[in-house]
Structure 1
Amino acid sequence: MKEIYALGVIVALTTVCTVAQGQGEFELPEQTTWMEMNRHFYEEKEQPFCKTIITAEQIQQRHYTTVKEAVAAIPGVTVSEQIPGGDTYARLQGTDRVVVLVDGQNIGNTGQAAYGRGTVDLSLVPDIAQIERIEVMQGVLSVRYGSGAVGGVIHIITKKGAQREQRLDVFGGTGDQWGRRIAFGGEHQALSWYVTGSRTQRSYYPIRSHGIYATERVYSDYMKDNIAVRIRRCLTDQTSLDMQAQYTQFDGHGTTVIRTKQPYTFMHKERKRKQYRVQLAYQYDTYTMNPGYVQYYQQVNKAAGETQFSTRTQGVRGEKVFCITAQHKITLGGEWRWEEAIHETANIHHKRRTQRAFFLEDEWKQGKWTLLTGVRGDDNSYFGFYPTARVSVLYDTQKRFSGYASWGRVFSVPKMNDLFYTKKVRRQIQQHGKTKWVEKWVKGDPSLRPENGYTATLGMTYRLSPQASLQAQVFRNEIHQAIRWNHGLGRVEQLDTEAVTGGNLSFFRQVNSHWQYSLGYGYTDYRIYTKKGIDHKRTYNRPHGYVGEITYTAGKWRGNLSFDGGAGRDTTDYNTGAFVQWNGNVQYAANDSLLWYVEVRNINNAGYDLFHQYPVAGRQWLVGMRCSW
């Protein structure tokens, strides 16, 4: 064991698209007001190389209505929906092994990895009105964030009520869609609060059938409620206590495509989801060079209807920075996490496990160079001890050019369903031109081992001018003992190697005070290797991905037009080999308190699928009003 812990001398990875100001020294935050202490330690202390920040102001300007819409506009990010408005999962750098955080808390579902290895349904994260900003960090981050952070991390940071705000948003549109959101926040002396509530509902969504489907309306109804409260108390000028709670409920019907014959039909199954989340965090030494925090969290996920399960997670996490010199700092952290899964109809009876972890990161700055190294150790009650490490180097001229290289070990433990799921199901099959029902067992495998491998990234940023920049990145993720469900055979498999190779290119320009635009391209090659060589090319919904956006602002008017496209798709798995979807919105500010908006999604009524044969929603319009006081 001593030899294993000696791996602390091994180094580990990832820094930043931007570096600290000054000549390679760490900056001490300015002493500001009590409420500006609300900036959490864990929000900013480590900035990975490829990091995109979407602020609350950008969310409002571009009129993103969900987290899915916001992150899907980023090159290198792919979001798949089995059902529009639900069952939404993200990929970063071509892999669905992604960690989603809310204010530093990992909200992954320990019980299952739905539709791949993704464990967080983005339709159940905090409502968009509650969000201060979204940080999308692409690259290996498993040293800091643990199991599953192979492709990167999506960090959702919620509002803290640093100023008085009351806001009401009401909208309606296609498919009998209605929504209302209310938010209010404020502060009194050392106390601040922010409260949000929302309800959105829909009866159906339109699709473009192309003769593939028997209908152009899919009756996948839902009603989703979200309530969140965040209260913050500044105890002294260097310490604070943060308390928050969130409740989300989704009640409706999911959709299953019946492929036994064409045109395809749909089967609607009851779908109910509930999520409870509470968090308590204590920050200390906030305005020093050595900040730290301790956080307790608990989360419960429940499902009813066609699928029934319950998972519960609770844990304690902490971090502390030690500034050795102006150019050298060390970050220490640790976490204890307890998980429970219940799925009685699938032979999962109160399965529990714990995980203890520590990590150490060492960051050096010397002139234009930054070196970040780190090591992590995880002790899982099922799988024992596993170390990971990472290393990265950044070169930044502080003017036009910055470049970086990073490498890190990764691992990911099997989910409870992977290990213990056992259930007999009835399915329709086509045999001799006839449709019939058959029974088959769907089984997990208790002998599965954790996935392990590495991620390597090389990238650069070039500032063409103060108004324009170009970013490029290439990466490779290689996962050994990769876990995937073979739904045709009804069992989980452990593959030899799953490899993803690709790259992203993006360009941004601010033309003038009215116009700005951005363009992005991403390439992803997804393969499975066996001892005999390449077994087969894994199908991927967007081998070539394209995104673009143009924004216009003038006086009381603001407009936004964007596109999202893909090409090089395998038509044996997807309905179309290529697609492009256009979206747009126009906003008019009648005065400082009243805003009207119109949004059209899928303007060109494109018909395609991102999840095998599950069609995306066709053209939809939305009209709404937002008032604040």
Structure 2
Amino acid sequence: MSNKTIAFALVVASSAPVIAADNDNIMVVTASGYEQKIREAAASISVISQNELRQRNYNDLAQALSDVEGVDVNSSTGKTGGLDISIRGMPSAYTLILVDGIRQNGTSDVTPNGFGAMNTSFMPPLSAIERIEVIRGPMSTLYGSDAIGGVVNIITKKITKAWASSATLEHTFQENTAFGDSSKFSFYSSGPAVEDQLGLSLRGTIFRRDASRVESSNTGVELSRRGPNPVKADNYNLGGKLFWQLNTQSTLWLDGDIANQKYDNSANQLGTIGARGGYEDTLRYQRRKITLGNDNRLDFGTWNSSLSYNQTENIGRLITNASVPQGSGLAGEKRLLKNTNIILDSKLVAPLGDNHMVTLGGQYWNAIMKDGIVLANNGDEFAQDAWSLFSEDEWRLLDSLALTYGARYEYQTTFGGHISPRAYLVWDAQDNWTVKGGVSTGYKTPTLAQLHNGISGVTGQGTITTIGNPKLEPESSVNTEVGVYYENETGFGANVTLFHNRFRNKINSVSIDNTTSTYTNVGKAIT
């Protein structure tokens, strides 16, 4: 059955004049941790500009990435209708999502059974975004675990010196109402609270989608109301940032964000209601996040630090009959699914002589996962501590040739230490031509639930129990690539990139028998 949509948008804005960016000098920060021209970035990277975002009606991050080369968001759809983000063929769990360089990903343990797209439905309103940077390929040297497929970094606007505000009301009318209309209201406002000392920004998005009720054109039978034909949804995301200019060289900032997603399951569209399937009639996904940061411009470089607290919770799941002993009385009780991450990041960027730009940094990460099924079977909450140190140097060998090389040492309480190196060359061959290439590595440890020595979940609408495997090894990858880039004075650009990705110890789910599954490493894969 085909369908057409008509989108309507009303925009109200008040702001200071804006000067268009020079497309020939696009700046990026994700590839190196500091600002540089995109043609000099040591990575295969694309940028979605603010103008490009304005021209399209995006409801979530995956939609915004739909036209980026090397990114596939159409190969799979989550149960709630969100699109999964795949970079160079790697599943969405291998893509690290950042906002202004701050990790957003929670563990996939909190969104089991096809609900991973919930994690990509959080995005600041388009009016708050300056640009989105997308790196294809591993970046574990700078960003650690999860950055094995690629990195998406949403760069938000800086707080303005004069108050600027915008509000947008959108409604999408489906030509066939069976596909479900949707509405979205978003706002962004920023300006000084105390001139030259204290700045404030506020942002928010409210999204509502009617349920799909699509029938097969051949049989007239209603199709499944999930995935491409999603259920009714009510979502919101509200946040704000306070920016304090301590002195001419140091700033302190505090960013807070609350978000809620609500999905209708009254007709068992997302999962079977009750103790057999493990679902309630309404599913909710909540996130509470707060980050404290400090930025310093020193005589010899820049030093940035942040401390973030991120808690996500999946509400509306039940403990199933198959996951607890018969007669325990726990089947049908609410299943707790809550993940808490506390992350401390610190990074120093400084020139060393005339030809080196050095980045030094470290990270501490405390992760806690609580699963009601594990607790019901006398298990404990999952907890893991990790710390890492990294160093990277951009060495200007010639005016037109730069070598970026570095490594990250990561230590986890479960697996001990691991080193993730990378090396990358960028050659400005001519004014319009750039050649890039190098080797980068990725590293991803198993989730806390995958390592649990006991029942850690259910699949098959509550009929199959999943057993963790404490003998799992971390996944790793080695990516080799070379690319040729062309751009002329009119803004026309084209590129060709060849890459080879060797993937080791991929974690897959395997069946033990008709009612039990577990996880195992499957060796090597090449893309």
Classify the TM-score, shorter chain: 0.7 to 0.9
Instruction: Please give the alpha-carbon distance, in whole angstroms, between the structure 2 residues aligned to 1:120 and 1:297.
Output: 20
User: Deviations for 1:298-356, whole angstroms, at most 9, x for unmatched residues?
Assistant: 10000111364000000210110121122212110100010000011244632111100
Q: Residue by residue, what CA displacement relative to the aligned partner does 1:554-600 show, whole Å, maximum 9, x if unpaired?
A: xxxxxxxxxxxxxxxxxxxxxxxxxxxxxxxxxxxxxxxxxxxxxxx
Q: Is the aligned partner of 1:72 residue 2:66?
A: yes
Residue 389 of structure 1 contacts residue 409 of structure 1 at CA under 8 Å; is this kept in 2?
yes
The answer to whether 1:329 aligns with 2:357 is yes
Letter of the 1:52 partner, please give it: S
1:419-434 residue pairs with structure 2 within 5 A?
419-420=451-452, 422=455, 425=458, 427=460
Structure 1 letter corresponding to 2:502: E
8 A contact 1:229–1:245 mirrored in 2: yes
Offset at residue 110 of structure 1 (A): 2.6
Structure 2 letter corresponding to 1:360: S
Q: Is the 8 A contact 2:264 2:282 kept in 1?
A: yes
CA distance in 1, matches of 2:497, 2:233: 39
Residues 1:494 and 2:491 aligned together: no
CA contact (8 A) 2:149 2:442 kept: no
Query: Partner of 1:92 in structure 2?
Result: 87
Q: Deviations over 1:90-137 (max 9, x none)?
A: 111111211111222212223527568979721124343432221111
> 1:224: which partner in 2?
235
Larger mean CA deviation between 416-425 and 111-120 belongs to 111-120
Higher relative contact order (CA 8 A, sep 6+): 1
Deviation at 1:296, TM superposition (A): 0.7
Match of 2:395 in 1: 364
2:43 corresponds in structure 1 to 49
Work out whether residues 78 and 115 of structure 2, in 8 Å CA contact, stay in contact via their aligned partners in 1: no
CA separation in 1, counterparts of 2:87 and 2:127? 24
The unaligned stretches of length 5 or more in structure 2 are 1-22, 175-179, 272-278, 319-335
**Could you tell me whether the CA contact under 8 Å between 2:373 and 2:457 is conserved in 1?**
no
In the alignment, which of 244, 266, 275 is matched to residue 287 of structure 2? 275
Indicate yes or no: 2:497 matched with 1:467.
Answer: no
Cα 1:380–1:176 shift into 2, 3 Å: same
Residues 382 and 406 of structure 1, relative CA distance in 2, 3 Å threshold: same
Q: Which residue of 2 aligns with 1:108?
A: 105
In structure 1, how many angstroms separate the alpha carbons of the residues matched to 2:259 and 2:153?
18
1:512-561 Cα offsets, whole Å, 9 max, x none, are xxxxxxxxxxxxxxxxxxxxxxxxxxxxxxxxxxxxxxxxxxxxxxxxxx
Alpha-carbon contact 2:205-2:237 (below 8 Å) kept: yes
Q: Residue 151 of structure 2: SS of its match in structure 1?
A: strand
Instruction: Rate the CA distance shift 1:417–1:126 in 2: closer, same or farther, 3 A.
Output: farther
* Residue identity matched to 2:263: G
In 1, the alpha carbon distance for the partners of 2:408 and 2:115 equals 22
CA drift at 1:231: 1.4
- Which residue is 2:450 aligned to? 418
User: Does structure 1 retain, via aligned residues, the 8 Å contact 2:124–2:203?
Assistant: no
Question: Separation in 1 of the partners of 2:89 and 2:216?
Answer: 28
Q: CA deviation at 1:462?
A: 1.6
Change (3 A) 1:483 1:427: closer
Equivalent residue, structure 2, for 1:452: 476
Which residue of 163, 166, 178 maps to 2:183?
Answer: 178
Residue aligning to 1:168: 167
Structure 1 residue identity aligned to 2:450: D
1:373 and 1:99 map into 2 onto residues whose CA distance is 21
256 and 380 in structure 1: CA distance in 2 versus 1, 3 angstrom threshold: farther
AA aligned opposite 1:106: R
Determine if contact 2:80/2:270 at 8 Å carries over to the other structure: no
1:406 to 1:125, Cα distance in 2 relative to 1, 3 A: same
Residues 484 and 410 of structure 1: CA distance in aligned 2, closer, same or farther (over 3 Å): same
Do 1:98 and 1:118's aligned partners in 2 also have CA atoms closer than 8 Å? Answer: no
Distance 1:237-1:423 versus aligned 2 partners, 3 A rule? closer
Q: Give, in whole Å, the separation in 2 of the partners of 1:371 and 1:425.
A: 48
SS in 2 for 1:285: strand
Residues 66 and 128 of structure 1 are in contact (CA less than 8 Å); yes or no, is this contact kept in structure 2?
Answer: no
> Aligned partners of 2:24, 2:415: CA distance in 1, in Å?
38
Q: 2 CA distance for matches of 1:167 and 1:473?
A: 39
Counterpart-to-counterpart distance in 2, 1:243 and 1:412:
29
Distance 2:253 2:517 in 1: 44
Matched residue of 1:156: which SS? Answer: strand
Q: Distance in 2 between matches of 1:71 and 1:206?
A: 27
User: Is the 2:304–2:347 Cα contact (8 Å) retained in structure 1?
Assistant: yes
For 2:498 and 2:221, locate their aligned partners in 1 and report how far apart those are by CA, in whole Å.
Answer: 42
Tell me if the contact between 1:313 and 1:339 (Cα under 8 Å) persists in the aligned partners. yes
Distance, in Å, in 2 between the alignment partners of 1:61 and 1:19 is: 20
Contact in 1 for aligned 2:113/2:459 (Cα 8 Å): no
Q: Which residue of 2 aligns with 1:399?
A: 431
Matches within 5 A, 1:258-407: 270-285=282-297, 290-306=301-317, 308-347=336-375, 349-365=380-396, 366-407=398-439
Q: Which runs of 5+ in 1 are unaligned?
A: 1-17, 22-26, 28-38, 259-266, 429-437, 502-629
Assess, with a 3 A threshold, how the Cα gap between structure 1 residues 496 and 358 changes in structure 2: closer, same or farther.
same
The SS at the match of 1:72 is coil
Cα-to-partner distance string for 1:153-207 (whole Å, 9 max, x where unaligned): 0011223321422222122234242222222211232222110122111221365
Q: What SS does the aligned partner of 1:148 have?
A: coil
Supply the AA of the counterpart residue of 2:390.
F
* Other structure's SS at 1:416 match: coil
Shift of 1:250: 0.6
Which of the residues 433, 440, 454 maps onto 2:464? 440
Looking at structure 2, the residues matched to 117 and 492 of structure 1 have their Cα atoms a distance apart, in angstroms, of 19
Contact 1:204/1:221 (8 A) holds in 2: yes
Change in 2 beyond 3 A, CA 1:410/1:183: closer
Q: CA deviation at 1:378?
A: 0.4
Contact 1:341 1:349 in 2 (8 A): no
Residues 305 and 345, structure 2, Cα contact 8 Å, conserved in 1: yes
Matched, 1:204 2:206: no
Choose between structure 1 and 2: higher strand proportion. 1
Residue equivalent to 1:242: 253
Distance 1:204 1:322 in 2: 53
Distance in 2, Cα, partners of 1:306 & 1:82: 20
